Amino acid sequence: MKKSIAIDMDGVIADTETQFINWYERDYGVRIKPTEIIGLKEDEMFPDKTAVRKFAFTPGFFRTLPVMQGAVESVKALMESFEVYIVSAAMEFPQSLPEKAEWLKEHFPFIDWRHIVFCGDKSIINTDYMIDDHVKNLDYFNGTTIIFHAFHNINFNHHQRVSNWEEVLVLMEKERYL
């Protein structure tokens, strides 16, 4: 029986950081460099502290997220040895649920709908591994936690960290034999 992995969407397979920065420049005319937001919380990343929530509530935000580099190929590779589930908190922003479903259908059509979990609280997830960029989701997870590097989690070091999808594959190759 294959071990199972819960993989987060936003900030892990979908590049929310780039989307936020691009939308902020589009709407405010100010380009924020990724190096300027390191260590900040998402609601602190821009001079207008309301921008992130405003964008997240805007139709089209989640539907047009860029795909994280290497995510598609890596998820396909992981599926050869693991039961892979995409797990995303999709209840806080009502329009995100259908947009995330459409986004997954476009960019990850090989993931069966039975392996997609939209929820509010990820503490209910019971897979062997969880890959997420938010410490709040990993801290209450009972399996093996893997934190996916993001500007907002740089100051947290109590979970195994990966910086990109290449590192995920290297780590999970080792885990395959445990």
**Residue 8 annotated among the catalytic residues of the structure:** yes
Angle (deg, nearest 10), helices 71-79 and 165-175: 10
Question: By CB neighbour count within 10 A (0-12 exposed, 13-18 middle, 19+ buried), where does 35 fall?
Answer: exposed
Maximum distance among all alpha carbons in the chain? 52
- Distance from first CA to last CA of the chain, Å, rounded? 13
* Catalytic entry in 8, 15, 132, 133: 8
- Match 């009972």 to its residue by tokens: 142
Give every strand in the sheet of 144-148, ordered side by side.
116-119, 82-89, 3-7, 129-132, 144-148, 160-162
Backbone angles phi, psi at 58, to 5 degrees: -85, 125
Name the active-site residue from 10, 15, 132, 133: 10
Dist. CA 9–CA 90, nearest whole Å: 10
Is 133 part of the annotated catalytic residue set? Answer: no
Q: Which positions are catalytic?
A: 8, 10
